[in-house]
Amino acid sequence: MADGPDIAQFIRTYVPSVWALELLLLLRADPARRWSPAELLKELRASTSLVDENLARFYAQGLVLQDDAGWHFAPANPHLDSLAAELAALYRERPMYTIGLIARPDPLQSLANAFRIKRDET
């Protein structure tokens, strides 16, 4: 299991929330299964907009595909597949650490924000 910079970058790029993580891991658990949006809503107990937004994001990022039978995990390349597998292992073995990586802001963005000049709101 890796928890280095590659997995941290994967999380920052592809997994914006724990809801997104749960959705991705659900789809990844059985790539042959096709999920309807209603099944995903029921399984995750999430809102329609949350599921739809994350499916659209994952589709645009090359992590999932949709066909007539439904949504399924289909990474665009072996590297994405490998990183998703590492993420699943990390979350299984160290869930709180993984959640922390999701919740932690990007260090470079935080540094940039620290030097941002704010306008006077008076």
pLDDT tens-place values along the chain, 122 residues long? 555 778 999 999 999 999 999 999 999 999 999 999 999 999 999 899 999 999 999 999 999 999 999 999 999 999 999 999 999 999 999 999 999 999 976 555 555 555 666 565 55
Residue 51 in contact with residue 23, Cβ under 8 Å? yes
Tokens matching residue 93: 């073995």
3 within 8 A of 94, measured Cβ to Cβ: yes
pLDDT of residue 104: 74
Provide the β-strand partners of residue 35: 71
Report all structural domains of the chain as residue ranges with CATH numbers, in order of start. Answer: 5-111 (1.10.10.10)
The pLDDT of residue 113: 53
